[in-house]
Structure 1
Amino acid sequence: MNRQNPLRTHKVCSGTFALLALLVCLFALPEAAEAGKTVRLALQWYPQTQFAGYYMAKEKGIYAEHGLDVEILHGDADSNSLQRVASGKADFGTAFLSAALEQRSRDIPLVNIAQIVQRSALMLVVRKDTGIKTIKDLNGARIGTWGNKFQLQPEALFRREHLRVRFVRQSPSLELFMRGGLDATLAMWYNEYHRLVAYGLNPDEMTPFFFSDLDLNQPEDGIYCLAATLESSPQTAAAMVQASVKGWEYAFAHPEETVDTLLDIMKQQKVRANRTHQRWMLARMQDIIAVEGRSRINTRLSPDDFANTWKALLQTEVITTDISYNDFYREPGQ
């Protein structure tokens, strides 16, 4: 009778299990770029907890675990993160959806590879003592702004409502608004709104108009790169997204450590910082990133948010070209 050698059978089975285990491990590993891949990430504003996920991904070695050596390019009032990407000075950049669509309409082949912020935090704030109660009351108003790159969303609103306003560049201190030199000011819920409260304005002394409540939910910070960058190195793009998400998850799970880390970075960059304000900012970022208390961060750009933003910009002639969702939003690895 022909019997199998039990030792041989054991070796075959062991080899099979080892191969299966290896395959499982390979599929379980996070997406990784080629080891030590150096990339530059341009942020659109000064260091603060608005960008905590990216800074923590770098500081905690999360980018390195995904094969990335990331250089973070700090932003300021005059730099443009998307222009840095377009010119090749950065490989990836964060930006508002509206700003990216405006750049794409100029034939700059930008693609969204992750929509980190899911709900717009942009708002208009007026003082109640001005008598302004509705958006229509802003006709002829002087509106405080941080510059042209942040005006696309309000321009869409005012054109839609057929209102004439005057945009006035103001400093981050909001002093012009506080002294009554402006009728309204643009503000981010996680930033300037809290500054106004810290300066002594009570919430019941202000009327906020959230753009998300005005059918203009144009979510802010997404991650962008050139289409050529994605196509030439999809693993790098996927690693950037996955590591950045883990950075945000770490930041939300360790808020005090995150605030301490950002305060140190801000001090090094000579950016004025306040612990209470940075705590507020981080908590509000969690509200607009992990919307509705979701435990997992969704990085997919909503087709509805894309369509509504594109239509609003098109109807108000901020952009003049057709843009396809499937060409604009490109999930790495898909």
Structure 2
Amino acid sequence: MNRISYITLLLIGQPGPPHVSSPRSGAVARETMRIGLMWKVQAQFAGYALAVEEVAGLELCARSPTASPLEDLLAGRVEFATVSPAQLLGAGRRAREVAFIALFMTRSPVVLVGSKSRKGERLSDLTSARVGVWPGEDLEVRAMLATAGVSLEQVDFVPVEEGFDEFIAGELDLLQATTYNELPALSSRVPDQSDLVVHRPASSGVDVAKDGLVASIKLFGERPHLVDAVVGAAVRGWRRAIEDGEAAVDAVCRLESSLSVSEQQQQLAEIVKLIDPSRSLGRPDRAEFERAARVFAAIGQEVDANEAVIEPGPRERALDA
């Protein structure tokens, strides 16, 4: 399945995302509530998988091949969606239709993988390159190149799918990847791991927060108790995922039985590294939107950090649960 841009135009009348979970025991809410995921069910969303077992009627929806989670939320196909601060800002004025209600990953998992033998070890030495990216989700990649002094006009950004065969075949000079998914798989496939060079956003000062949770403004007015229930369960789920990885992976694999337990354990270990233990788990922060706006500025795009609606207010008791 292709990774589809988070800021493509909404396709009216398209089918909703597939439901990949069913209600569990431990009832808190009785109505069906769906969380649209950035990708398929995997350990990346372990905290939400545990929340499903607490909140009756809560479902996780794998990403649709034709729309982003934010688009599905705006179209009413899901009640919640996993969205990053940068992705929300990239939506412009449409961002005002939703509220950012929880943030878990305060560090970016995105990396840019290159081959030393093809383009060297330093981005600053590049004069041109073919870079495989996920359109609409490649902010950190573009920012790393820009801050290294590379003219983005000299870069051929090539949309890629989930795999990395084009990079291995030498058709791409650099490839966007995540620390928890593509990078481990790629490292196991290349003939010479020592030839790989991994560029990280934090090293270039362009790290941004990732997975957060959003809901529609309308939902707040109509069913605030359900918002509280889902946010509280998500916070407790992520706390448990951090403390008990085995239980978290078991919950993920109960929802998607085809997954490898060992691979999901490795993925969760990388996911936990993206969660800052010094911060209040789940609490949204305006500073993360300001940080994302600065990274947009690094690639010559202006966004307004104040476009995003951050709603911890009535959710305070849920976040402190």
Indicate the residue corresponding to 2:296 in structure 1: 313
Indicate the residue corresponding to 1:155 in structure 2: 142
SS in 2 for 1:149: coil
1:116-154 Cα distance to aligned partner (Å, 9 max, x none): 1111111101122224222223442111123x2312333
Range moving further from structure 2, 128-137 or 43-52: 128-137
1:230 touches 1:332 (CA, 8 Å); kept in 2? no
Separation (CA, whole Å) in 2 of partners of 1:52 and 1:297: 18
Separation (CA, whole Å) in 2 of partners of 1:131 and 1:43: 35
Separation (CA, whole Å) in 1 of partners of 2:124 and 2:245: 40
SS in 1 for 2:177: strand
Indicate the residue corresponding to 1:285 in structure 2: 271
Indicate the residue corresponding to 1:42 in structure 2: 36
Match 1:187 to one of 167, 177, 181: 177
Indicate the residue corresponding to 1:275 in structure 2: 261
Indicate the residue corresponding to 2:125 in structure 1: 137
Indicate the residue corresponding to 2:15 in structure 1: none
Q: Given the alignment of the two structures, is residue 301 of structure 1 paired with residue 284 of structure 2, yes or no? A: yes
Indicate the residue corresponding to 2:310 in structure 1: 329
Shift, 1:93, TM fit: 0.1
Range moving further from structure 2, 151-160 or 171-180: 151-160
2:89 touches 2:289 (CA, 8 Å); kept in 1? no
Q: Given the alignment of the two structures, is residue 113 of structure 1 paired with residue 96 of structure 2, yes or no? A: no
Code of the residue aligned with 2:38 in structure 1: it is Q
Separation (CA, whole Å) in 2 of partners of 1:234 and 1:186: 38
Indicate the residue corresponding to 1:53 in structure 2: 47
Q: Given the alignment of the two structures, is residue 79 of structure 1 paired with residue 71 of structure 2, yes or no? A: no
SS in 1 for 2:58: strand
SS in 2 for 1:62: coil
Shift, 1:102, TM fit: 0.8
1:42 touches 1:85 (CA, 8 Å); kept in 2? yes
SS in 2 for 1:155: helix
Indicate the residue corresponding to 2:187 in structure 1: 197
Shift, 1:77, TM fit: 5.2
2:293 touches 2:303 (CA, 8 Å); kept in 1? no
1:104 touches 1:110 (CA, 8 Å); kept in 2? no
Alignment of 1:14-53 (within 5 A): 35-53=29-47
Indicate the residue corresponding to 2:232 in structure 1: 242
Range moving further from structure 2, 240-249 or 258-267: 258-267
SS in 2 for 1:324: helix
Code of the residue aligned with 2:263 in structure 1: it is H
Separation (CA, whole Å) in 1 of partners of 2:92 and 2:227: 19
Aligned-residue RMSD, C-alpha = 2.6
SS in 1 for 2:91: helix
CA distance 1:332–1:234, shift in 2 (3 Å): farther
| TM-score of the two chains, using structure 2 as the length reference | 0.79
Please state which structure has a larger fraction of its residues in helix: 1
SS in 2 for 1:125: strand
Percent of pairs identical after alignment? 24
1:119 touches 1:217 (CA, 8 Å); kept in 2? yes
Count how many residue pairs are aligned between Structure 1 and Structure 2: 286
Q: Which runs of 5 or more residues in structure 2 are unaligned?
A: 1-26, 317-321
Q: Which runs of 5 or more residues in structure 1 are unaligned?
A: 1-32
Code of the residue aligned with 1:331 in structure 2: it is P
Shift, 1:245, TM fit: 1.5
1:162-216 Cα distance to aligned partner (Å, 9 max, x none): 3331122223221111121110100111111111122246653321111122111
Shift, 1:45, TM fit: 0.4
CA distance 1:34–1:259, shift in 2 (3 Å): closer
Greater Rg by CA: 1
CA distance 1:37–1:314, shift in 2 (3 Å): farther
SS in 1 for 2:256: helix
| TM-score of the two chains, using structure 1 as the length reference | 0.76
Alignment of 1:209-228 (within 5 A): 209-228=199-218
Shift, 1:43, TM fit: 0.4
Code of the residue aligned with 1:322 in structure 2: it is D
Code of the residue aligned with 1:85 in structure 2: it is L
Range moving further from structure 2, 176-185 or 134-143: 134-143
Separation (CA, whole Å) in 1 of partners of 2:205 and 2:305: 20
Separation (CA, whole Å) in 2 of partners of 1:130 and 1:102: 33
Shift, 1:44, TM fit: 1.2
SS in 1 for 2:273: helix
